[in-house]
Chain A
Amino acid sequence: MATNGHTIDDAINGLKKLLSEKHDLQVVAAEKIKQLTAELEATKSDGFNPVQRIREGFDRFKKEKYETNPTLYGELAKGQSPKFLVFACSDSRVCPSHILDFQPGEAFVVRNIANMVPPYDTIKHSGAGAAIEYAVLHLKVENIVVIGHSCCGGIKGLMSIPDDGTTASDFIEQWVKIGLPAKSKVKADCSDLEYSDLCTQCEKEAVNVSLGNLLTYPFVREALVNKKLSLKGAHYDFVKGTFDLWNLDFGISPSLLS
């Protein structure tokens, strides 16, 4: 329906005319058309357009942060030297960039279900091991912080595994079983608590299990003993709006017998 010259045909014809006059624009145009097609393909029936959301988000970041801090971003482009390695849950509500206001360059971050640190295992847990190894040995981070949180679906899943250990999921329960020692402890120590309070205790105790698991990595122990690294546990409660932080103290004493 050609009412004001702005139909799809008019737009395409206008573009074709321009490109026939300016051949050197063809490569740029091809790239832009590809991006536009991706954007249009992605539009859902409810109007949610993920490509547009991504584009708008990046444009905002670029305008408000990237272009207003050229010194910082210039330095960061050359290399990173974060002081923190952070383990946080994949939960959309607990990103460390939000809750601890981490800016680019501050924290090397691992995010997985229930912010678990598995024990040293080159077969079963190479992803986590690689991140810890790279952060401690290559980046030489000074602090590892494991952050648990309220209403954690992963911990709820752990607490829901029946006593005979049967699982219904492909991966989830297998993964959260890393936290089984925490579940046993809270069920034994806090048997009088309401279920939701039991889960909260388990969220915090699972952080301690993860801190203990960090000690199974020799390079972590070495850095701790040399006082180049500290391990901290934390719990973010987004119902109450609070943040708890605690230390794991670890050291090897000099010989006790002489």
Chain B
Amino acid sequence: MSTTFDPIQRINDGFEQFKINEFNKDPDYYRQLAQKQQPKFLMFACSDSRVSPTNILNLRPGEAFMARNIANLVPVSNKERYSDIGAIIEYAVETLNVEVILVIGHSRCGGIERLLALPDDETSYDFLDDWVSVAEPAKQRVIAENPDASGEELQTLVEKASVLDSLKNLLSYPYVQSGIEANTLQLLGGYYDFVRGNFQILETVTV
């Protein structure tokens, strides 16, 4: 363990900064928030330390209900295998009545990189390969449509295609489907490229 980095100090300092710069500066806002949250967004983002939507979209507390997992994947509804994802979507749509679900893909995603290294790479994982295979259809589709793509170009195409698949998979949740039909919910697909420093909206799904 490194001797110079003190995680307890880092956590203590971080919370102090938050209290001084945010929490204590707007007590009315935080008091109201403590009573109830009414986020308009549910956001799916990668667990990657570089892509927190709070940072890259300058969000305030209370704006977005958040799901973060490797490669920002939304698998097809499955009560046995993906109850974590189902619970997030169910709560966000049915209880919190969010208006928008945004799925954010990003550049140099380790999860997608791993997916592209399969099946040849010999390292074996208990969980990782099975999880990232949720994006296998996106990988196959991109390769079929872009036989000459490779390296970073290929990875970017798969990162984006996976976001589009996640939007499609969201529709396998009945509450999402009926929200779209009732025009109370819309889906957005986004892509954050931290190499070039830009953010694109890839797709909109509305009624």
Query: Using a CB–CB distance below 8 Å, which chain A residues touch chain B?
Result: 35, 38-39, 41-42, 44, 48, 50-51, 53-58, 60-62, 64-67, 73, 76-77, 80, 82-84, 90-113, 116, 118, 122-135, 137-138, 142-143, 145, 150-151, 153-154, 169-172, 174-176, 227-228, 230, 232, 234, 238-239, 241, 243, 245
Contacts and interface: CB of A to CB of B under 8 A. Distances in A.
B63 A142 contact: no
Interface of B: 1-2, 5, 7-8, 10-15, 17-19, 22-24, 30, 33-34, 37, 39-41, 47-52, 54-59, 61-70, 73, 79-92, 95, 99-100, 102, 107-108, 110-111, 125-128, 130-132, 186, 188, 190, 192, 194-195, 197-201, 203-204, 206
B125 A133 contact: yes
Contacts of B90: 169-172
A105 B131 contact: no
B45 to A, nearest CB: 8
B207 to A, nearest CB: 10
A104 B206 CA distance: 32
A143 B10 CA distance: 12
A54 B57 CA distance: 6
A109 B55 CA distance: 13
Which of B54, B95, B102, B203 has the most CB atoms of chain A within a 10 A radius of its CB?
Answer: B54
A41 B69 contact: no
B11 A234 contact: yes
A38 B79 CA distance: 33
Contact of A103 (B55, B128, B195): B55
A117 B62 CA distance: 23
Q: Which of A38, A39, A80, A126 has the most CB of B within 10 A?
A: A126
A112 B19 CA distance: 24
Given A41-B204, A175-B87, A50 B190 contact: no
B55 A127 contact: no
B49 to A, nearest CB: 4
Given A127-B131, A142-B5, A171-B90, A54 B79 contact: no
A93 B18 CA distance: 12
Given A54-B201, A174-B87, A232-B7, A97 B52 contact: yes
Contacts of A245: 8, 11-12
Given A93-B37, A97-B52, A127-B85, A58 B14 contact: no
